[in-house]
Amino acid sequence: MKTLLALYFRFSLLDSTFNIYLDDEKITTTHLKKLGKNTQFLWKINKCNDPYLKEQLSDLKKKKTIAVTENFHGFIASVKKPSNLKVIGTEERATIDLFANGRLREKDILKYIPSARIVENYLYGQIHFNGLDDKTDRFSSSREGIVADDPKFIAFLQILKDNVLSEIIEDWDKWRLEFRESGDPDNDRITQRDRKSEELYNVVSSEYEPPEDSKNKEKVDNWMYQLASDAKYNFGSYAECFISENLVRKYIEDKKILLSPQAETEMKKMRIREIENKQAGNCNIDIRQKDSDTSYLDMAYLANLVDKQQNQNCLPADAKEYKPVRDALMHTALLTNDAKIKLTSVYNNIKGRVKIILYL
């Protein structure tokens, strides 16, 4: 109850002498301490001097001010997890609420302008629009909410949607990814391939995150941040190599294509190397799921088995260009921009050719 009182009664913003007590305890922003601790990002709208922002949001990851010409102000904030918005012990959750002259006029105003974007599940805040309290009676007879079709309210919602929430939606996705957390899957500013690669990197890299008291935390965090952009490319590129090469292997097995003398020689060499490496590493388990000859061949050899065309528009020609960068990728090397461009270009051609071979 004290948390709810701290959330919804904001008369103190207008009159510092106005206080609320429950069980002889004064309601202050300290009753919102847990919510503040779990808040990551903050967007202030115009000039907002809410004491909650100063007293409880000291550990923000990012913040900015959004200026709008209309006469309303407030803030919208984002928590780490949607569950952080739940008020424990009640059915209530923090939402974006509308106030007029310190009085709560409408809870959860996003229900009037839903975007169906995941970011909505993370947001809470308070918008103060004192202009709603004028000579026109735009509140319901129960005084518990605003009349939904009121023109002034509709105009306010449109401005909030177009000038505030649209910017927050973009910022939220960028900031979440920057701090190695999942963003908005419906945001198309980056491809789904890159987004999923980045999400995978975020999950894996979190296992290496140093504890807060580690003397090298800042240095290691910086290293992981630097690796993120390369990981976004490498993870996706590895997946492309994995899929294309294994599909060609399955095609060879299905068509019962015999190995060429060159492929036979390479396969035997790689088998011997694996035996030597296992002996040196005291490894006595099976490594490959299927002990097929093609599992010891890379695309350069696989291509020659499935595409016999003697021209430049064939899989073997692409595989030759593909191999140097592909091998560096498989050894987890960080690639130059030129190498990334080369690999992407050649792989797109390989993908197109593999599809033709598989589909015929």
pLDDT tens track for 158-194:
999 999 999 999 999 999 988 888 899 999 998 999 9
Specify whether the CB–CB gap between 204 and 228 falls below 8 A.
no
pLDDT at 131: 86
Q: Could you say which of 153, 178, 203 is where a domain stops?
A: 178
In-domain check, residue 280? yes
Q: Is the pLDDT of residue 138 over 90?
A: no
Task: Report which residue type is found at 151.
Answer: P
Domain shared by 244 and 174, yes or no: no
Tell me: do 28 and 155 sit in the same domain. yes
> Does a structural domain hold residue 192?
no
Question: Residue 239, class by beta-carbon neighbours within 10 Å (0-12 exposed, 13-18 middle, 19+ buried)?
Answer: middle
Same domain, 40 and 135: yes
Is residue 43 predicted with pLDDT exceeding 90?
yes
Q: Which of 146, 63, 67 is nearest to 104 (CA)?
A: 146
Q: Is residue 205 part of a domain?
A: no
Residue type for position 22: L
pLDDT bracket for residue 55 (50, 70, 90): confident
Residue type for position 110: L
345: pLDDT strictly greater than 90: yes
Q: Where a domain ends, among 132, 148, 178?
A: 178
How far apart (Å, rounded) are the C-alpha atoms in residues 313 and 50? 66
Whole-number Cα distances in Å, 134 to 49, 104, 128, 138, 156: 23, 15, 14, 9, 15
- Among 178, 196, 227, identify where a domain stops: 178
Shared domain for 20 and 158, answered yes or no, is yes
- Higher pLDDT residue, 104 or 324? 324
Nearest Cα to 340, choosing from 319, 326, 353, 351?
A: 326
% of the chain at pLDDT higher than 90: 59
Please name the residues in contact with 293: beta carbons below 8 A apart, sequence gap of 6 or more.
259, 263, 264, 267
Give the residue numbers spanning the domain of 60: 2-178
Tell me, yes or no, whether 187 lies in a domain: no
d(CA 252, CA 258): 8
Is residue 45 classed as helix, strand or coil in its secondary structure? strand
Q: How many C-beta atoms surround the C-beta of residue 278 within 10 A?
A: 14
Say if residue 158 is in the same domain as residue 250. no
User: Looking at residues 241-268, what average pLDDT do you find?
Assistant: 95
> N- to C-terminal Cα distance for the chain?
68
Q: Is residue 224 part of a domain?
A: no
Q: Which two tokens stand for residue 266?
A: 């390479």
Q: What are phi and psi of 137, to 5 degrees?
A: -85, 100
Residue 4 reports pLDDT greater than 60: yes
β 62-66/73-79 pair status: unpaired
Instruction: State how many domains the chain has.
Output: 2
Pair (289, 154) in one structural domain: no
Task: Answer yes or no: do 18 and 161 share one domain.
Answer: yes
Q: pLDDT at position 277, please?
A: 96
213 domain-assigned? no
> DSSP state, 335?
P
In a domain, 195, yes or no: no
What global pTM score does this model have?
A: 0.76
Q: Residues of 14-53 as b/e, b for ≥16 C-beta within 10 angstroms? A: eeeeeeeeeeeeebbbebbeebbebbbbbbbbbebebebb
Question: Is pLDDT above 90 for 24?
Answer: no
Tell me the pLDDT band of 360, cut-offs 50, 70 and 90.
confident
Q: Which contacts (CB < 8 Å, 24+ apart) does range 36-41 have?
A: 38/79, 38/80, 38/81, 38/84, 39/77, 39/78, 39/79, 39/80, 39/84, 40/78, 40/79, 40/80, 40/175, 40/179, 41/77, 41/78, 41/171, 41/172, 41/175
Please tell me the predicted confidence (pLDDT) of residue 147: 80
* Integer CA distances (angstroms), 22 to 1, 6, 36, in order: 9, 11, 21
Gap between the Cα atoms of 184 and 123, Å rounded:
13
Model confidence band, residue 145 (pLDDT cutoffs 50, 70, 90)? confident
Helix H or strand E segment including 73: strand 73-79
Q: Is residue 114 in a domain?
A: yes
Task: Give the Cα separation of 150 and 156 in Å (integer).
Answer: 10
Same-domain check for residues 174 and 296: no
Whether residue 174 sits in one domain with residue 27: yes
Quick one: 245 and 323 in the same domain? Answer: yes
60-103: per-residue pLDDT in tens? 999 999 999 888 999 999 999 999 999 876 778 889 999 888 88
Residue with tokens 């461009």: 341
Residues 161, 258 share a domain: no
Classify the phi-psi angles of 54: left when phi > 0, otherwise alpha if psi is within -120 to 50, otherwise beta. Answer: alpha
319 shares its domain with 173: no
Specify burial of residue 291 (Cβ count, 10 A radius: 0-12, 13-18, 19+). Answer: exposed
Rounded (5°) CA angle 126-131-133: 95
Q: Is 324 a residue whose pLDDT tops 90?
A: yes
**Whether residue 54 has pLDDT greater than 90:** no
Mean confidence (pLDDT) of the chain: 88
